[in-house]
Amino acid sequence: MMIERRTLLLGAAAFGALPAPVRAQAQQTIRLGVISDMSGAFADLSGPNSVLAVRQAVQDAASLGLKVEVVAADHQNKPDLAANIARQWFDRDGIDAVVDVPASSAALAVNGVVREKNKAFLASSPGTSELTGAQCSPNTVQWTYDTWMLANSTARATVREGGDSWFFVTADYAFGHSMEAEGGRIIAAEGGRVLGSARFPFPGTTDFSAFLLRAQASRAKVIGLAFGGTDMANAVKQANEFGLQKRGQRLAALMLFISEVHSMGLEAAKGLVCSESFYWDVNDRTRALTQRLKRNFNAPPPTMVQAGCYGVTLHYLKAVADLGVAAAKASGAAAVARMKAMPCDDDAFGSGTIRADGRKLHPAYLLEVKAPSESKGPWDYYKVLQTVPGEQAFRPMADGGCPLI
């Protein structure tokens, strides 16, 4: 298990309209623990650069006068390890909030520990909509995206363009199951059909040929890829080798990250349609954040998960300053309640709000991967097809089954 520590004392540099510091709170330390995948399938979309995004948020919150320590650990995408790390941090190391946690199964495990210990869970990587549904918690904020948003945007648009028969290739764990179910619901609602699915073991699968050949044999118009990380890059490359798209079957990436496009290359990824809540080149604020990360940490343009780590950490620190460090450390639920009560605004996502079920609302973008001839430079990979307001992009709160509502 990789553990890394950094302590940052925030000074007096200004950053936007932040809450006034609480007197004498600089003598107390807020401890943030980033649990991520540092070397596995999700390392590029989260991993070490999620930690850098958290540190950038700490730097950008300089005027708050807080003393913040950032600790990082590798959970290896294992739910039991993730839960054990969180429990150890809370019981022994005084961690106040856990950030990130890729792999939905790991996130659900951490979610339970956080609630038991009355800490805060600042979820960026996990996509399962259960975090704002049946397993919603007063201690958790789900910031960046979820399976409902991804399926609602990508599947709906694809069916409306004529892709009315689908076959899913799905990662066999909580996130993949949720993505397939949400996608199937949207497809049926739009008058389409799901002809079948093939589930592959996660983690550890590198050869997707058997699953792709089953999708090919189904003769579905669309092959829905319900997974992400390096698995996505491998599967798309293999699909191109089989010539699936040349034979008339379309690939729909229900979750795609810019890091995966970078790994595949535009020639392999061109034409893929996906949904994200952050793209580095959307506006001046997203470009400014990207430049700060490059200047301070030599980091590449952030994925939406890494941008989410930045946004949720910054907002948490604002809430801590507004509530008071002692109160925030005493109750993670109180800190999360203050996060919900305060309007959100940051350079990654702009303005937004957090609902009572813990769902952060901000716009979602329907994106298409550019052809090599359309790209004007490094990381110029997407064109924006649609911008969906947050209130429409995410599942209505009444439909989620959150017991807090």
Query: Distances in Å between the alpha carbon of 253 and those of 51, 73, 170, 315, 393?
Result: 26, 29, 11, 30, 17
The predicted pLDDT at position 243 comes to 86
CB half-sphere exposure, 277, CA atoms < 13 A: 35
Beta strand 120-123 pairing with 97-100? parallel
3-state secondary structure 198-229: EEECCCCCCCCHHHHHHHHHHCCCEEEEECCC
pLDDT per residue as tens, the chain (405 positions): 444 544 443 332 322 334 444 444 445 999 999 999 999 888 999 999 999 999 999 999 999 999 999 999 999 999 999 999 999 999 999 999 999 999 889 999 999 999 999 999 999 999 999 999 999 999 999 999 998 999 888 898 889 889 999 999 999 988 889 889 989 999 999 999 999 999 999 888 999 999 999 999 999 999 999 988 788 888 998 998 888 878 889 888 888 999 999 988 999 899 888 999 999 999 999 999 999 999 999 999 999 999 999 999 999 999 999 999 999 999 999 999 999 999 999 999 999 999 999 999 999 999 999 999 999 999 999 999 989 899 999 999 999 999 998
Query: Distances in Å between the alpha carbon of 326 and those of 23, 144, 329, 400?
Result: 11, 28, 5, 33
Contacts of 157 (CB under 8 A, 6+ apart): 273, 366, 385, 386
Cβ burial, residue 103 (10 Å; 0-12/13-18/19+): buried
The predicted pLDDT at position 244 comes to 87
Cα separation of 16 and 348, whole Å? Answer: 14
Where do the H-state alpha helices sit in 161-303?
Answer: 174-189, 209-218, 230-242, 258-264, 266-269, 284-297
To which H or E segment does residue 341 belong? helix 332-341
The predicted pLDDT at position 19 comes to 42
The predicted pLDDT at position 21 comes to 43
SS3 content of the chain, % helix, strand, coil (to 5): 45, 20, 35
The predicted pLDDT at position 212 comes to 95
The predicted pLDDT at position 11 comes to 32
The predicted pLDDT at position 27 comes to 56
46 φ/ψ angles, rounded to the nearest 5 degrees: -130, -110
Task: Using the Cα atoms of residue 51, residue 123, residue 1 and residue 263 in order, give the sign of their dihedral.
Answer: negative
The predicted pLDDT at position 356 comes to 98
Cα separation of 6 and 8, whole Å? Answer: 7
| Residues 84 and 18 sit within 8 Å (Cβ to Cβ) | no
